[in-house]
Amino acid sequence: MGRSPARAGLVREPPSRLAAVAAARGGQRRDTGDGLRARIEQELLADGAPMYAAEPSGKLLFANHAYRELLQAASGAESDNPSMRLASPHALSQVERALAPVEIEESLAVGQQARSFRSRHIPVFAADGALVAVRGVYHDVSRERALGRRAAHLRDRHDDLTRLVSDWIWEVDRDFNLTFISARAIETFGTHPRLLLGCNLFDLGVFSETGRKAPDRDWRSPFGDKPFRVVNRADGRPRLCRLSGMPIFDSQTGAFTGYHGTGNDITAQTEAEERAARAQARLAEAIESSSEAFALFDDENRLVIFNRKFREYHPMIAELIAPGVGFEELIRAGAERGQFADAVGRVDEWVAHELERQRNPEAAYEQRLSDGRWLKVSDRRTGDGSYVRLRTDITELKQREEALRRAEETSRAAREAAERANHAKSEFLANISHELRTPLNAIIGFSESMLSETFGAIGSPRYKEYIKDIHDSGVHLSNLISDILDVSKVEAGKLELDESVVDVADGITRCIRLVTERADRAKVELKVNLPKRLPKLYADEHKILQILLNLLSNAVKFTPPGGRVTTSAGIDGEGRYRLVVADTGIGIAEADLDTVMTPFGQVASSQTRQHEGTGLGLPLTKALVELHGGALELQSEIDAGTTVTVCLPKERVRPNRARRAAPAVGGPRP
């Protein structure tokens, strides 16, 4: 780069040219002290850093060679008159405002490159305080900035690495005071790493090892994976770490300057290992205390672990049972010594069969020992190919099974005898009912003729009352005999269904008519709650009417005057046919519900004994419902009433396409 011609005034010639002039003059002229000092200063300024002096207006008073080169490079062209140019024109305005030295950092284009400069601009004042000039000097800090950027990049990369690695990084000085610790340490110490700087390593925690194995303040050797216990400042919980460190020595003097190293929080790992150890200990204790014999064989069929019971169950080979012994060796020795009853006389065949069972374990099987005991054997294959063998002593169970078998034989004989007796009872009831019905039919028929006065009037009204009592008693006795026969048929399984499509709404109407007179005498209100188009039912019509009439008769019988009996029907949420008869009567205690559902079962109370009955109504009704595949539900409470619900299967429901007129009053016996 060429140099511009020198200017008069403050701009002096380069030192080399001044030296040439002095030599030409032969050194005859001798400068004074002040002049020599000024010339030396000017020559030093000429080859120093870019410097200038300018008027407040911006006119250059002085510019050394380096400043001229800076102007030329910044402008990109030669300039013979740089007097009105400044590298930083805005520096003058800042100095005028501040009236004090100003420092500026800026980037100037020098050729094809952007260079970083730090400049200082100093005001020059006259005696009266007026600003007369500004002096400035420029320093090229491009290399310094590049080094700073590289250092920042390295620092960022170091920070990224310390954040990425699972360990945290630490450094201490010669007194073991922390000079650096990475952000990962916050998880261990529970506080920001900046708050740990300056803290002494031995104040933050304690090395768990004792003696010379644990680092101390005099330690100067590398160490690795030393347990170090600290306390988390956030939650107060102790944490266990592993610390590794490398000593640092001055490269010139060899003096110890500190340590740098890594740390790793192993609290979770240690706790997991402790939990695993405790679990393993509990498992071993559970295996040992188990009432079953336990043995684990590896994938090569060698014994790994067993409990005391396993050895007790095999006393003839107890001395052979030890880790590493093969399964085949154990069972063959047991078979040869007579341990297993089924192996006597057929050792090889039995051993081959047991090995096949173990290779392909399926269901548990029973094994008989020669001492009379029985074991239940269960083999299971684990995921790694090992085998778990369980042995359970079922000797008592086998003895109970034998006792049960003998009891069942005795019970079967007793049951057969009872069935024979029941058959004889049924035959007796059939015969006696025939013998009883013949005179009863005559009594009922003659009494009906006398009541209707078919052959003339009866002399006295009291005779007519007697005849009515005779008729009612005969009808009651006839119905009782019919109920007994029906119950006997149910017990014998001889009661059959004559099924058809039944209009339940008409059946309810007919049954209501039959009990209306009795309800009126008892001053009981009868209510019916039916939908407009009640579906029909595929069932035995006579038995459905018998079910309804039995329930209505019972409800009226046990409801005091002023009470109410409500009959309803419909389809429930599961599609089943529901018939419900609810009353507000005397009710039944919860403890007596099972009693009233058994044949001839009656509750012995002052209220119930006021009403006649044999206790066959509800059991017979339940049997008829179950004969249809349904269920009878009974809910009752003393002095609150009783609700009987009959649920019949949804398969018996039939659509009601048209309603027919109600039939004439009739139906089964009341």
Encoded tokens for 320 = 């052979």
d(CA 596, CA 588): 9
d(CA 552, CA 519): 10
For the cut 80, the answer to whether the pLDDT of residue 13 exceeds it is no
109: left (phi over 0), alpha (psi -120 to 50) or beta: beta
Q: Domain for residue 555, yes or no?
A: yes
DSSP tag of 14:
P
CATH number at residue 375: 3.30.450.20
Give the best-scoring range by mean pLDDT among 97-106, 243-252, 473-482, 660-669.
Answer: 243-252
For the cut 90, the answer to whether the pLDDT of residue 176 exceeds it is yes
Say what the pLDDT of residue 580 is.
94
d(CA 325, CA 310): 14
Total number of domains constituting the chain: 5
For the cut 90, the answer to whether the pLDDT of residue 565 exceeds it is yes
Q: Domain for residue 667, yes or no?
A: no
Boundary-marking domain end, from 110, 137, 164: 137
User: Are residues 385 and 405 both part of a single domain?
Assistant: no
User: Are residues 501 and 650 both part of a single domain?
Assistant: yes
For the cut 50, the answer to whether the pLDDT of residue 7 exceeds it is no
User: Are residues 470 and 569 both part of a single domain?
Assistant: no
Where is average pLDDT lowest: 39-48, 122-131, 143-152, 318-327? 39-48
Say what the pLDDT of residue 63 is.
87
d(CA 584, CA 517): 19
Buried b (16+ CB within 10 A) or exposed e, 129-149: eeeebbbbbbebbeeebeeee
User: Are residues 500 and 646 both part of a single domain?
Assistant: yes
Query: What is the DSSP track for 224-284?
Result: EEEEEEEE-TTT--EEEEEEEEEEEE-TTT--EEEEEEEEEE-HHHHHHHHHHHHHHHHHH
User: Are residues 126 and 42 both part of a single domain?
Assistant: yes
For the cut 50, the answer to whether the pLDDT of residue 17 exceeds it is no
pLDDT digits (tens, 9 = 90+) for 441-490: 767 776 777 767 766 677 667 666 667 667 666 666 666 666 666 666 66
User: Are residues 389 and 414 both part of a single domain?
Assistant: no
d(CA 68, CA 86): 10
Residue keyed to tokens 């000017």: 42
User: Are residues 167 and 68 both part of a single domain?
Assistant: no
d(CA 40, CA 28): 18
Q: Domain for residue 534, yes or no?
A: yes
d(CA 277, CA 445): 95
Indicate the average pLDDT of the chain. 79
pLDDT digits (tens, 9 = 90+) for 347-388: 999 899 888 888 887 778 888 888 888 888 888 888 888 888
What does the pLDDT average to over 536-540? Answer: 93
Res. 87 pLDDT band, cuts 50 70 90: low
User: Are residues 99 and 221 both part of a single domain?
Assistant: no
User: Are residues 453 and 359 both part of a single domain?
Assistant: no
User: Are residues 520 and 649 both part of a single domain?
Assistant: yes
Q: Domain for residue 261, yes or no?
A: yes
Q: Domain for residue 664, yes or no?
A: no
For the cut 50, the answer to whether the pLDDT of residue 1 exceeds it is no
CATH number at residue 580: 3.30.565.10
Say if CB 189 and CB 233 are below 8 A apart: yes
Say what the pLDDT of residue 431 is.
60
Residue type for position 383: G
Sheet holding 365-368, edge to edge: 303-306, 293-297, 387-393, 374-381, 365-368
Res. 22 pLDDT band, cuts 50 70 90: very low
Q: Domain for residue 428, yes or no?
A: yes
Q: Which domain holds residue 563?
A: 496-654
Say what the pLDDT of residue 491 is.
61
Q: Domain for residue 483, yes or no?
A: no
Pairing relation of β-strands 536-540 and 564-571?
Answer: unpaired
Sheet holding 178-181, edge to edge: 178-181, 168-173, 256-265, 238-249, 223-231, 205-207
User: Are residues 169 and 130 both part of a single domain?
Assistant: no
Boundary-marking domain end, from 108, 137, 166: 137
Boundary-marking domain end, from 95, 115, 137: 137
User: Are residues 417 and 383 both part of a single domain?
Assistant: no
Say if CB 624 and CB 546 are below 8 A apart: yes
User: Higher confidence at residue 621 or residue 255?
Assistant: 255
Say what the pLDDT of residue 20 is.
43
Q: Domain for residue 9, yes or no?
A: no
Say what the pLDDT of residue 3 is.
36
Buried b (16+ CB within 10 A) or exposed e, 214-246: ebeeebeeebeebbbebbbeeeeeebbbbbbbe
Say if CB 618 and CB 612 are below 8 A apart: no
